[in-house]
Amino acid sequence: MLQKYLLTFCNQGLLSLLNFALNVALLRAWAPIDYGIFALTLVLALTIEALQNALVNAPLSVYVPVMHRRAPRVLTEIMLSSVSAIMAVAALICGIVFGLAVFGEARYPLLTALGVGAFMGSQLLRAYGRSYLFTQLRPARVAVSDVTYVTVGSTVFVLLWFAPDMIVPATVFWILTIANVIATLLSFWVAQVALRLTLRRRILRRYAEVWRDARWALAGVVTATLQSRAHVLVVTAAFGEAVFAALAAGAVLFGPMRLVLQAWGMITRPFLARAVGRRDRREIVMTNRFSLGAVLAGYMAFVALLYLLWDQVEIRLYAGKYEDMEIIVVLWAAVSLLFAVRALFSIPLQSMRQFKRLAFATAMGAVVSLVSVTILALTLGFQYSVAGVGLGEAVSLVYVIYIYRRYMRNLAATGPLESGKNGAGYPAQIANGAGNS
């Protein structure tokens, strides 16, 4: 597993580098209002992808790895891929409507709106392909797809260098869409499976069993989004997109860490799901300690480097376009640390399918975050709205650690499963495929 972790870390680092470089390039090339609208679009795209993670990718990673019988496993995969495709079509429509609303005054507004929709829909398909490969614990094959995505997506920088006038929102979104489509097709080709879809009610009805867990995962995504994106709602509504751009610009530095944590969860969740099925407490604890140590060590090294190079970063990256960036970046550094620890403690709880408990944790954090962000933004200034997000993260983290310790004690008390028995309390219809063949 260590080799898989290292490969996943390097692979996600490549994606993070592209995302970071793209944001930095557009941050420097565009006016604050243009970058603010672009950043707002990315927030919506990430939110839609988070919904797919709750409804499709998380069930895929905790149900399929413990299925040994081929027929139920294949039916479950077809059902989940079909739901993912339906969500991709919905994201396409949502993106077009959103693009028409926010890019009405941009160059090529209709082409931009179509690009936003195509980007959001294709992003969900690529995310499902990556999740499928991670479920099979094949990060090397994920790397093939991701390298392709980065290679095609890097066309943006070529145009930025040789034809900067072409770098408008429409161009960026269509390049990313093409990269998503090629990477998606490649991911299923290297997996040597067909993306089989169906609208047959008999198969889609199986989702009712998954929904028992997915509904709480969905509630967790909604509340987690409110908790971590409260500043988007409050600051954009109260001060406008140009002011929000300053907060988005500060968060750019810590964006790669969120992508690394997302991939870390994809490779860790199915591995821990197998350990939960065996009730192997030692494996879960050791994996989580390794995750915490590796991620926190890398984070502290990054923060130290950022502190040493801050003067150059402020001059070269922000170029005097944004005020109070030092305060904003310091606050984002603290929030990102809280987010990372909460995410790492949440991964084993997701493998135990404690989605309801996690939803309750982020619901408490969302309330605290919305109230704190509103008060701080309107009394102290928009810069301090980030501290409100941090207060929400802190509340969620305390409760997540509490339920993690509680379920680890319970797991130790029950002891390992006997061979051939189903663990983790899978719903009846799904569990039928989890026994030994």
Residue 292 CB neighbours (<10 A): 14
Sequence-ordered list of residues with C-beta below 8 angstroms from that of 18, at least 6 positions apart, any chain: 149, 150, 153, 154
Which pLDDT does position 176 carry in this prediction?
93
pLDDT attached to residue 392: 93
Tokens found for residue 128:
């499902």
Return the residue matching tokens 């998954």: 210
Q: Which of 400, 413, 411, 143 is nearest to 292 (CA)?
A: 400
Question: Model's pTM, two decimal places?
Answer: 0.71
Structure tokens at 292: 């915490």
**Using CA atoms, how far apart are residues 422 and 436, in angstroms rounded to an integer?**
9
| Residues of the chain with confidence (pLDDT) below 50 | 416-437
pLDDT at 424: 40
d(CA 174, CA 184): 15
The two tokens of residue 79 are: 């059902």
What's the residue count for the chain? 437
At 2 the pLDDT is 59
List, in order, residues 6 or more apart from 191 with CB less than 8 Å away: 129, 132, 133, 136, 138, 141
Contact 85, 124 (CB under 8 A): no
Supply the pLDDT for residue 75: 79
Q: Which amino acid type is present at position 52?
A: Q
pLDDT value at position 339?
92
pLDDT, position 291: 83
Token pair recorded at residue 62: 């905790």
End-to-end CA distance of the chain: 25
Cα atoms in the 13 Å half-sphere on the side-chain side of 225: 18
Inter-residue contact 302 to 286 (CB < 8 Å): no
Number of neighbouring beta carbons within 10 Å of residue 76: 23
Contact 411, 275 (CB under 8 A): no
Residue 204, classified by CB atoms within 10 Å of its CB into exposed (0-12), middle (13-18) or buried (19+), is middle
pLDDT score for 394: 95
The burial of 13, by beta-carbon neighbours within 10 Å (0-12 exposed, 13-18 middle, 19 or more buried), is given as middle
Domain ranges across the chain = 2-414
The pLDDT assigned to 19 comes to 83
| Model pLDDT, residue 68 | 66
What is the distance between the alpha carbons of residues 321 and 56, in angstroms, rounded to a whole number? Answer: 40
- Contact by Cβ (8 Å): 197, 82: yes
Q: What is the pLDDT of residue 61?
A: 76
Q: Which amino acid is at 377?
A: A
